Chains A and B, each alone.
Chain A
């Protein structure tokens, strides 16, 4: 645990007559001129800024960079996010435009395959399949991020309140999450979507978010309660720190890392759930919207015999992206584990 370099730097205790002195540098460079002193102080400050900022997060990031699993996960996630953001620049065509050269070849049992201008061929409506796949990344990212963020926000709120107040507040909130956890996540989402008068991408986002709320809430509450018993909270109490600050400065920040890691994992679940809902026909009814789950569920299923690629590509994309987020999340979980800290 201890850092040998700093250990060695610990000086012998000073004797009583050695009164507190303003700064180390002042004694050790007393013979230098003022300009040199100023220069040295500046260098010291620079190195302080350099070394001082190595927070727990950066420490974890450094360990992440050495982990091949993390790198693979991060590469997949990074590529996915880039494709999603720059979809309009990457996609060769407009994803909703129906091309005459494609539609004229559409029949009941033929869908045009790859050709020079359309590398992945056509979809059942004569649109460019590759462009739709690329825009699909965008839609998937949008749904995943929003669902995760909403779930995270609600979950953190509930978990923080339960963990901070304890007592009956905690009991009530946790019974509530128990109920939510007891329902199979996809079933709950299906019910929610079915309850909404008409389905849209928002019902999907909200359904997926709701399902992740109890997980975040439980996780945060559990780690806040553990923090409440921790030595540094006891030490803070011994300093008279107010309860509010114990929660906000000690319990909450020390509990958040676990939740953030969970968010990465939840993202994977979110896009799988969203895809599943679309697959089941409970997704966005807009036929123009390119979405992997929808593409897999509607076109892929219906035309599987005609052109199985219509199912393969979206399915593969969903699996790879979900895998990427899972790998990254697991690696992050490992990296922030205090047991792995140097």
Chain B
């Protein structure tokens, strides 16, 4: 049994007087225990909404979530709010993009770590603070004793994200969802945080869902990669397959727009034409069609199905990039 099995997850936002908007459209993917899975795609493709739906953190009103989110066989979407609350932070944790605003500004860092331990592990304050110091130390925060009493605005961005990681992993959850955890950080700090995350999930056996728009992040981290476009999974591959020969024109475009050390001199980077705003609705055809170089007639006659590939992945495309072209 997979640790997390997301089946046909859809999120439709419906505001009064507005047309319903499908932000996540029948997304399915699985995460095995200890595995690292990437969710990749441009801004607005539904990555954050997917993760919030899994966590049960979408606003109570104004949206409709359908499908199944099986966590060790239990459908999280059907749990009572109290039961789900008991699991959050203990079995499934999440870290967000902006480390400063994710921390409570009026509570010292150490207390914020300690409170999770008190909440889920029934520790008393003294014991929790001791463990909190060890946790801060384990995520590489120098002088953790001092940090216990410092407030979020007093420490650097990189350290705040480390503190958030410590908080998220305090109860040794089986699954960690990281929503663009490095986007708000300096490039040098980004690499450190990613290395730290990888090291910690490896040590603790925590499975990781890595949400990012940056294929560079995926390259060093993920076992499997799900590429999202317009709320749907368009390609799923194991990491090496994906980087070796991405078949979907969108993935292909993403890869070609990343600079590579081994590309021939003088070769130009290719940006994908247009922007996400150029989508067409999936019911009409392939949402990527207006930006696609490979578009064929079938692409405008309805949504292409997600079909298994020879390499063990899945692909949603009528006219994929051929293998020879894909290998650069």
Binding site for B on A (CB under 8 A): 1-3, 6-7, 9-16, 20-24, 44-45, 47-49, 51-56, 59, 230-232, 234-242, 249-250, 253-254, 338, 341
Instruction: Point out the residues of chain A lying under 8 angstroms from B98, CB to CB.
Output: 231
A49 and B100 form a contact (CB under 8 A)? no
A240 and B88 form a contact (CB under 8 A)? yes
| A341-B158 Cα distance, complex, nearest whole Å | 18
A52 and B150 form a contact (CB under 8 A)? yes
**B 188-201 to A, binary, CB cutoff 8 A, 1 in contact else 0:** 01001001100100
Instruction: Point out the residues of chain B lying under 8 angstroms from A236, CB to CB.
Output: 104
| A37-B144 Cα distance, complex, nearest whole Å | 17
| A233-B157 Cα distance, complex, nearest whole Å | 19
Instruction: Point out the residues of chain A lying under 8 angstroms from B195, CB to CB.
Output: 13
B87 and A10 form a contact (CB under 8 A)? no
User: B57 within 8 Å of A by Cβ?
Assistant: yes
User: B244 within 8 Å of A by Cβ?
Assistant: no
Question: What are 7 A-B pairs with beta-carbon distances under 8 A?
Answer: A44-B143, A54-B150, A231-B101, A238-B88, A239-B116, A240-B88, A338-B105
**If the complex has contacts A59-B153, A235-B102, are A52 and B86 also in contact, measured as CB distance less than 8 A?**
no
* A4, closest chain B residue (CB): B156
Instruction: Point out the residues of chain A lying under 8 angstroms from B105, CB to CB.
Output: 56, 232, 254, 338
A12 and B108 form a contact (CB under 8 A)? no
How far does the Cβ of A5 sit from chain B's closest Cβ, in whole Å?
A: 9
* Size of the chain B interface, CB-CB below 8 angstroms: 56
Instruction: Point out the residues of chain B lying under 8 angstroms from A235, CB to CB.
Output: 94, 96, 102-103, 164
**Known contacts A56-B106, A59-B153, A232-B104, then 8 further A-B pairs from the complex at CB < 8 Å, ordered by chain A residue:** A2-B157, A7-B156, A20-B138, A22-B134, A23-B137, A44-B146, A49-B149, A54-B150
B140 and A11 form a contact (CB under 8 A)? yes
How far does the Cβ of B247 sit from chain A's closest Cβ, in whole Å?
A: 34
Binding site for A on B (CB under 8 A): 55, 57, 85-90, 93-94, 96, 98, 100-108, 115-116, 119-120, 134, 137-138, 140, 142-146, 148-151, 153-159, 162, 164, 167-168, 189, 192, 195-196, 199, 202-203
Instruction: Point out the residues of chain B lying under 8 angstroms from A1, CB to CB.
Output: 100, 153, 157
Contact of B102 among A23, A49, A231, A240 (CB under 8 A): A231
Contact of A47 among B140, B146, B156, B157 (CB under 8 A): B146
**If the complex has contacts A16-B203, A23-B145, A53-B149, are A238 and B57 also in contact, measured as CB distance less than 8 A?**
yes
B156 and A240 form a contact (CB under 8 A)? no
A239 and B89 form a contact (CB under 8 A)? yes
Contact of B145 among A48, A59, A242 (CB under 8 A): A48
| A44-B102 Cα distance, complex, nearest whole Å | 28
B156 and A10 form a contact (CB under 8 A)? yes
Contact of A13 among B89, B107, B140 (CB under 8 A): B140
How far does the Cβ of B326 sit from chain A's closest Cβ, in whole Å?
A: 33
How far does the Cβ of B78 sit from chain A's closest Cβ, in whole Å?
A: 18
Instruction: Point out the residues of chain A lying under 8 angstroms from B159, CB to CB.
Output: 6-7, 10
How far does the Cβ of B44 sit from chain A's closest Cβ, in whole Å?
A: 19
| A241-B168 Cα distance, complex, nearest whole Å | 12
A240 and B107 form a contact (CB under 8 A)? no
| A3-B96 Cα distance, complex, nearest whole Å | 21
| A6-B157 Cα distance, complex, nearest whole Å | 10
How far does the Cβ of A240 sit from chain B's closest Cβ, in whole Å?
A: 4
Q: Which of B88, B156, B196 has the most CB of A within 10 A?
A: B156
How far does the Cβ of A22 sit from chain B's closest Cβ, in whole Å?
A: 8
B167 and A54 form a contact (CB under 8 A)? no
How far does the Cβ of B103 sit from chain A's closest Cβ, in whole Å?
A: 6
Instruction: Point out the residues of chain A lying under 8 angstroms from B103, CB to CB.
Output: 232, 235
| A2-B186 Cα distance, complex, nearest whole Å | 11
How far does the Cβ of A234 sit from chain B's closest Cβ, in whole Å?
A: 6
How far does the Cβ of B17 sit from chain A's closest Cβ, in whole Å?
A: 20
B101 and A6 form a contact (CB under 8 A)? no
Q: Which of A48, A234, A239 has the most CB of B within 10 A?
A: A239
| A1-B115 Cα distance, complex, nearest whole Å | 26
B87 and A240 form a contact (CB under 8 A)? yes
**If the complex has contacts A44-B145, A240-B120, are A6 and B155 also in contact, measured as CB distance less than 8 A?**
yes
Contact of B151 among A9, A54, A254 (CB under 8 A): A54
| A309-B134 Cα distance, complex, nearest whole Å | 70
* A13, closest chain B residue (CB): B195
B104 and A2 form a contact (CB under 8 A)? no
B145 and A16 form a contact (CB under 8 A)? no
How far does the Cβ of B201 sit from chain A's closest Cβ, in whole Å?
A: 11
Instruction: Point out the residues of chain B lying under 8 angstroms from A12, CB to CB.
Output: 192
* A239, closest chain B residue (CB): B89
